[in-house]
Amino acid sequence: MAAAGAEPCGQPLEPGRLAVYFCGSIRGGREDQALYERIVARLRRFGAVLTEHVAAAELGARGEGEEAAGGDRFIHERDLAWLQQADVVVAEVTQPSLGVGYELGRAVVLDKPVLCLFRPQSGRALSAMIRGAADGLRFQVWDYKEDEVETMLDRYFEANSLKQVAASPSPTT
């Protein structure tokens, strides 16, 4: 499934370093782009971020600029190749996005540990398909406030091991 040229747009992969797949809305809306920049910056502490482009300010309100990579088929195949490489998936799910939902479903099928971050203060309701997927093990959904995002990521990744993190039912345990 690896697409030609499916090199991560983030940091190069190093042996022993986590490969992190970050999901955030692109064509579904770019309102949280600045927050995505903060998330990607923090994720770099814990591993190579395969999908740094999600935070790019250059992407237009409907993802303009992403198509330059080679069209929808190329983007799909490239992103699935990165998802297969990933050790962990982190998704900011406050801005509804069909693509993020699709990526999360694929991550579950691939048995990847998943952390979904949602801001209830946004006034939005999180899809039952996302919140309901939380199993207390591999798939986590954590509510947070925007000023807590770095702390939440630290809590998730600074556990003794990713397996231990994936077994934590909440960010405070």
pLDDT at 161 over 80: no
Residues 6+ apart with CB under 8 A from 15: none
Which of the two residues, 135 and 170, has the higher pLDDT score? 135
pLDDT at 17 over 90: no
Binding residues: 21-27, 36, 103, 127-129
In whole angstroms, give the CA distance from residue 11 to residue 52. Answer: 9
**What is the band of 167 on the pLDDT scale with cuts at 50, 70, 90?**
very low
CB 33 within 8 A of CB 39: no
- Return the CATH architecture of domain 19-164: 3-Layer(aba) Sandwich (3.40)
For the chain, what are the domain ranges?
Answer: 19-164
Which of the two residues, 17 and 142, has the higher pLDDT score? 142
Binding residues for substrate: 21-27, 36, 103, 127-129
Element (H, E) at 152: helix 149-157
Residues 6+ apart with CB under 8 A from 168: 140, 156, 159
pLDDT reported for residue 14: 72
Are β-strands 18-23 and 47-49 bridged in parallel, bridged antiparallel, or unpaired? parallel
pLDDT reported for residue 53: 94
Q: What is the pTM of this model?
A: 0.85
